[in-house]
Structure 1
Amino acid sequence: MDFRSSETVVGPHSADLLPDSATMAVKVVIVGGFGVGKTTLVGSVSEIRPLTTEETMTQAGEGVDDLAGIERKTSTTVAMDFGRISISDEMVLYVFGTPGQERFWFLWNGLFEGALGAVVLVDTRRLEVSFEVIGRLEDRGVPFVVAANAFPQSPTYPTEELRAALDLPPEVPIIACDARTRESSRDVLMALMRYLYDLSTQKLTTPPHLTTPPHLTTPETP
């Protein structure tokens, strides 16, 4: 893989500095299959200059990376993307984007450390590239929302059809988004924050005896 030379770092820009009023920072992760728009979302929503690790795709990826449906893609994330967005004067989100190719998934362990939740970005033209991503999050017990990114000529499905296709439980939010626009990307992150808040509230208010897994309950006597 060819690597471009790095630009000289001359010091932080004033707009990149964390506001003095910030008292809470939350880490979230953007995940998804190869080419679903993760780098685009991080770049569009970040209020600072996003850190990206995109490199030009070369012949080394031929026969390894599946380019079906994204034949025009010429670069790829090889480590992570990073951005920041202020939710309020006190709270900021640190947003990390993961690499999409399976050969880079070993990096997920470090990126997920300390993360409260995730956004699964999907391309409705290629839903199959999201199946294993969602499975990995479920195995890790990471709460997540699903964002259906808008692409040219991408089909639009009713929410419940998408839920069935992705085999998602009814409580997982599904949001339509355009990762190219800041407003839409911000709405996705806000949906994740509301979902995380709802989950924390349920844990605080649900009596312990109501949280017993169904398969552990005593069957009724005939």
Structure 2
Amino acid sequence: MIEHKIIITGSMGAGKTTAIASVSEIEPMSTDVMNTDNSVDKEKTTVAFDYGEVSLSAEERLRIYGTPGQERFSFMWKVLSKGALGLIILVDDTRKDPFKDLSIYLENFSQLIEETACVVCISKTNKNNVARVNEFARYLASQGVICPVVPADVREKQDVLFVLELLLTQLYA
């Protein structure tokens, strides 16, 4: 069995746990605890990682790890990044400054982005807002990062599978 490790990261509440749960073929593993951060209206938050699996074929499988979103758990970001084939950054477009949020993950995952493939996925947004997608693409370019930017509803299995496929296409193109 060939296994590939994919990382999903982003701010707390962006939808990492939900994205993994929507596509995982096994019962997703989660390390959620009661949220004590009042800046986000959310009952629970991930403190170590989330985990799920998706089969690509009978011989090939994706192991998907979701990072904790809070910077105080950033030590886990480096641990989880080891051996990763690619990175998906989820950006919650309803947050006060999603570009500032994105910059945190671009900086902390810069080495992984340089060495592998990356997709920026805008969650909690109007999926038909091409202008907003273009804003994110321009921001990424201003930061020296060229990668696909797509809106997605991470509750929808097909949306998350599309983002995973887009990531894999970069790797195997």
Return the TM-score normalized by structure 1.
0.68
Structure 2 equivalent of residue 149 of structure 1: 123
Query: Quick check: 1:25 aligned with 2:3?
Result: yes
For structure 1, the residue ranges without an aligned partner over 5 or more in a row are: 1-22, 199-222
Structure 1 equivalent of residue 42 of structure 2: 73
Query: Quick check: 1:181 aligned with 2:156?
Result: yes
Q: CA RMSD in A?
A: 2.1
SS in 1 for 2:9: strand
Partners of 1:191 and 1:146 in 2: CA distance: 10
| Post-superposition CA distance 1:30-67 (Å, at most 9, x none) | 01112111111011110100000111113xx45xxxx2
Return the TM-score normalized by structure 2.
0.86
1:196 shift after superposition: 1.4
* Identity over aligned pairs, percent: 35
Cα 1:46/1:94, change in 2 over 3 Å = same
Cα 1:108/1:81, change in 2 over 3 Å = same
Number of positions where the alignment pairs a residue of Structure 1 with one of Structure 2: 166
2:94 and 2:124 in contact (8 A); partners too:
no
SS in 2 for 1:94: strand
Residues 208-219 of structure 1: matches in 2 within 5 Å?
A: none
1:84 and 1:95 in contact (8 A); partners too:
yes
Query: Quick check: 1:195 aligned with 2:170?
Result: yes
1:109 shift after superposition: 1.9
| Post-superposition CA distance 1:104-155 (Å, at most 9, x none) | 011112211111111011112331212110122224434311111135x799
Q: Which structure's relative contact order is higher, taking Cα pairs within 8 Å and 6+ residues apart?
A: 2
Which has more radius of gyration? 1
